Amino acid sequence: MFLCLLLLTVIATGQAQKVPGQLKNDSCVCKINSSIWTFPAARFIEVTAQVLTQNVELPKVKANLKNITARLKRFEYLQTSGLYNALHLRQLNQELQIIQHAISETHMDNPKEAQHFLDEVSQAKHDVEKMYKDDTFNLETMKKRLRNLNNRVQTSRTVPNDFRSSCHQRIITNISSPIVTKLNSFSKSYISGAWGQDASLTSNQIYWEHCLVSGNKHGNTIRFYKLYEDFMGNKNYKDEPIAPSYSDKNAVQGSGTILYDNTVFYQCYSKAEICSFNITTKTTKRINLDGAGIDNKFPFCYYSCRDWTDIDLEADQDAVWVIYATEENHGNIVLSRLDPVELNITHTWKTHLFKRSVTSTFMVCGVLYATRYVNTYKEEVFYAFDTVTGQEINTLSVPFEKVAAGIANLNYNPVDRKLYMYNDAYLLAYDTFF
């Protein structure tokens, strides 16, 4: 009896396996470790085998290889019919369908660009089908390709002109020292909420203040001041109800609230939905936010997690923006643009920025900015995502001062170009420079 050696190489992965065997009756009999065929699985066609023996007749070796092929077919079957792959392929197909839908809407403005995208989607579809057939694929690479394609399609869809040109300006370069510092008008124990001025150019410039009660989680009123002096002096304010109580289905959850066009935009009580309450008409609208993590699934964290910050609303000149994260995007930030009046989502971009690695975000002219904690008294803008170009910048370093460690809300006001922060129980404002 002689020893023999079978060398198996999986072409797709470059993995090789040496299998010692025994020469019996002019055959090399080997036991093959099937773990070489674990994900990503390769078809046996893509495996080369070489039997190293002495004085063995070639036909016998060939016959044995055939035998091995037959036996490995079963492994291949198990691999391709595995639930894991099928599920993910289905998700990829769904994503492709969404992109295709988005392109069909784009078609009207720029047929040439749309055709280009359609070609790319059709190539991607072909590749996904090939994955089904061959069971050799890199899920991550494909997902990345689709994310990139999706962002480019979103960017090229119809958007108001000033969204793209006049206001899409340079990246933020500096933030002043706080020009307003004041405790909220309720209590030092109200460490979560939001404040600012109406972000719409056509609205009256009024200050608003919204504090969360019930474990810093819910709220149902918003306080207005017509004058800066009144705001600073906690007087002549008006409390507007958003919902009958803080446990009502239309109550506010979390500190992502924003005021635009005399309308409060916020996360609806205990739901992955956005609510809008128009103070002029006293009407509430809601819209579902597909896949958004809520209830501290994807809060803002960085240094320590801030409860009930899963969904952050922002506003610029002519749109309301919502910042959230989904499992589908691996907990990374997803950015959707809302039509404020219809309250429907017009665009959605997916970033590579892990939401839990950020303390807060704000939007300026279609550019998303993210900040991180430096220390109790210092915060830093470190990231920007430009929805006009789809570009991500990770290398910013624009520091600004705080009076306490935690940030419940940060929002930029396009009218007065100031940044508003709810810093534990303190209300701060800053000038910005571009």
Mask for 195-234, x = binds ligand NAG (CB under 6 A): ----------------------------------------
Spatial separation of the C-alpha atoms in residues 417 and 421, rounded to whole Å: 13
Residue pair 156/106 in contact by the 8 Å Cβ criterion: yes
Beta bridge partners, 368, equal 363, 385
Nearest-approach distance from CB 190 to ligand NAG, in angstroms: 27
Q: Please pick, from the candidates 346, 354, 357, 405, the single residue that binds ligand NAG as defined by CB under 6 A.
A: 346
Structure tokens given for 145: 């390709």
For residue 428, the number of C-alpha atoms closer than 13 Å in the C-beta half-sphere is: 25
Instruction: Give the nearest distance from C-beta 30 to ligand NAG in angstroms.
Output: 9
Q: Which of 341, 377, 389, 394 binds ligand NAG (CB under 6 A)?
A: 341
Closest distance between ligand NAG and the C-beta of residue 41, in Å? 14
Q: How many residues bind ligand NAG (CB under 6 A)?
A: 21
Contact residue for ligand NAG among 14, 35, 161, 304 (CB under 6 A): 35
Let me know: does 359 contact 305? Beta carbons within 8 Å: no
Q: Which of 2, 13, 24, 97 binds ligand NAG (CB under 6 A)?
A: 24
C-beta of 33 vs 187, nearer to ligand NAG = 33
Mask for 48-87, x = binds ligand NAG (CB under 6 A): -------------------x--x-----------------
Single out the segment in contact with ligand NAG by CB under 6 A; choices: 27-35, 43-51, 121-129, 381-389: 27-35
Among 1, 14, 25, 161, binds ligand NAG (CB under 6 A): 25
| Interface of this chain with ligand NAG, residues 280 to 309, rule: CB under 6 A | 280-281
Interface map 82-121 toward ligand NAG (x if CB under 6 A): ----------------------------------------
Minimum distance from residue 227 beta carbon to ligand NAG (Å):
23
CA 190/CA 201 separation, integer angstroms: 30
* 263 contributes a contact to ligand NAG by CB under 6 A: yes
Q: Pick the binder of ligand NAG from 234, 278, 296, 357 (CB under 6 A).
A: 278
Sequence letter at residue 112: K
Contacting range for ligand NAG; rule: CB under 6 A; set: 189-197, 267-275, 333-341, 367-375: 333-341
Q: Is 33 in the site for ligand NAG (CB under 6 A)?
A: yes
Q: Is residue 178 involved in binding ligand NAG (CB under 6 A)? A: no
Distance, CA of 322 to CA of 316 (rounded, Å): 11
Of residues 13 and 344, the one with the C-beta less far from ligand NAG: 344
User: Which residue from 81, 282, 342, 378 is in contact with ligand NAG, where contact means CB under 6 A?
Assistant: 342
Kindly state whether residue 176 participates in binding ligand NAG, applying the rule CB under 6 A: yes
How far apart are alpha carbons 309 and 16 in whole angstroms?
48
- Closest approach, Cβ 278 to ligand NAG, in A, equals 4
Give the Cα separation of 197 and 184 in Å (integer): 15
Q: Which stretch binds ligand NAG (CB under 6 A): 25-33, 148-156, 216-224, 266-274?
A: 25-33
Q: SS3 string of the chain?
A: CEEEEEEEEECCCCCEEEEEEEEECCEEEECCCHHHHCCCCCCHHHEEEEEECCCCCHHHHHHHHHHHHHHHHHHHHHHHCCHHHHHHHHHHHHHHHHHHHHHHHHCCCCHHHHHHHHHHHHHHHHHHHHHHHHCCCCHHHHHHHHHHHHHHHHHHCCCCHHHHCCCCCCCCCEECCCCEEEECCCCCCCCCEEEEECCCCCCCCCEEEEECECCCCEECEEEEECCHHHHHHCCCEEEEECCCCCCCCCCEEEEEEEEECCEEEEEECCCCEEEEEECCCCEEEEEECCCECCCCCCCECCCCCECCCCCEEEEECCEEEEEEEECCCCCEEEEEEEECCCCEEEEEEEEEEEHHHCCEEEEECCEEEEEEEEECCEEEEEEEEECCCCEEECCCCEEEECCCCCEEEEEEECCCCEEEEEECCEEEEEEEEC
Given the rule CB under 6 A, which of 156-164, 223-231, 339-347, 418-426 is the region that contacts ligand NAG? 339-347
Region of 151-159, 162-170, 174-182, 306-314 interacting with ligand NAG (CB under 6 A): 174-182
Min separation Cβ 339 and ligand NAG, Å: 6
Please select the residue that binds ligand NAG; options are 254, 340, 406, 414, rule is CB under 6 A: 340
- Given the rule CB under 6 A, which residues bind ligand NAG? 24-25, 29, 33, 35, 67, 70, 174, 176-177, 261, 263, 278, 280-281, 339-342, 344, 346
